[in-house]
Amino acid sequence: MKIGCFAVVDPFETIDHQLDRVAEMGFEYADVTDNHPGGLLGREFGFAASVSLDDNPDDVKRLFEERGLSVTSVCAHANLLDPSAPGRYATEEVMKAIRLADGMGVDHVITTEGEPKTEWGEGLSRDEQALVVAEKLHEPVRLAESLDVELLIEPHGELTDPIEGMETVLDELGHPETVGVNLDTGNTWLGGADPVAFAERFHDRIRHVHWKDLPADWEARRGEEYGCGMSPIPLGDGVVDIEGVYRTLADSPHLEHATLEIAGEDNLVASREYLESLGAE
C-alpha cells in the first residue's frame, strides 16, 4: 500500500503551497482535495487551496508532477441528501470530477452523501436516503463506466457509515466493476461502526483508504456525528484499530493507494512512519 497525503496542509494557502509542503515532507502521492466548479475568488486572490473542476486536466496534473507527486484520486464529497440546487455540490460537480480524473489519467473519484442541511433532507427515511443518493449518482456512475474511471463511495454520513447502509447504497447503484468503496477509518468509527468489520465486509470493493485515528475523548460523539475532515492525532495514538484495518486489507485485490487525513506536520510524519512499520510504502 502506497501512502499519500491530502493536499490541505496549511489553512488559507494556495494549492501550489499545499503541494510544496506535501513534497517537502517526502510524500510521492497526493490527491486533488478541495475543488470547485468554475472560478473561485479565494483561489484568484491566494487564500484557497482549491482546484477548479473546469481547469485543463493537464495543467492540474502538471502542478503535481513538477513537485515529483502523482495524483491518486479526485475528491468529490457531495451533498446528496438535500434537494438539488445550483449552489449545492452534487451530481454535476461529481460528473465534472470524473471528467477531470479521466483527463489526468487518474483512476479514482471519491464521493459521499454528507449530512443534510435542510428540513427536507433531514426528514428522509433510510430507504428514501438510499433512493435519493442512487438517483443523484446514477448519471455519474454511467459516465465513470464510459470513461473507465472508478467512483468510490466513502462512509461520511448517517447512511454510509453503518455497514448495512453502505451495503444498501452499493446495491442501489449496482455496477460493481465501476462503483467501489473508499474506506475512511475515522468516519466509520465515529459513525458507530467497527472499522475492522467494515474492512472485512467490503474487502474486495475497497480501492482506496483515508487513514484517520481519533482520540478517546471523542467517544461521547460516537454515533452522534458522521464524518470528520481530519484526525487531530497521529495514527496509532487513538481508539481506532489502525493495525487491525491494515492487516485486514493487506491482501485486498484492488487496493494500491491510501491517503493520510491528519492535521499537523509532526502528526503526518509520525502516521506515515507508523504505517511503514506495518509494511506500507
The CA distance from 221 to 128, in Å, is 25
State the CATH architecture for 2-278: Alpha-Beta Barrel (3.20)
Give the chain's end-to-end CA distance (angstroms, integer).
Answer: 6
Question: pTM of the entire structure?
Answer: 0.98
The CA distance from 170 to 180, in Å, is 8
The CA distance from 33 to 75, in Å, is 5
Q: Is 30 helix (H, G, I), strand (E, B) or coil?
A: strand
Q: Which residues contact 266 (CB under 8 A, 6 or more apart)?
A: 234
- Domain definitions of the chain by residue range: 2-278
pLDDT tens digit sequence for 269-280: 999 999 999 999
All cell numbers assigned to 121:
433532507
Beta bridge partners of 71: 30
All cell numbers assigned to 210:
483515508
Low-confidence spans in the chain with pLDDT less than 70: none
pLDDT at position 165 is: 97
Asked whether 188 and 155 are in contact (CB, 8 A), the reply is yes
The CA distance from 256 to 57, in Å, is 22
DSSP output for 114-131: ----SHHHHT--HHHHHH
pLDDT at position 231 is: 97
pLDDT tens digit sequence for 219-232: 999 999 999 999 99
pLDDT tens digit sequence for 18-29: 999 999 999 999
DSSP output for 178-234: TEEEEEEHHHHHHTT--HHHHHHHTTTTEEEEEE----GGGGGGBTTB---S-BSS-
Nearest CA to 247 out of 207, 200, 180 is that of: 200
In whole numbers, what is the pLDDT of the chain averaged over residues? Answer: 97
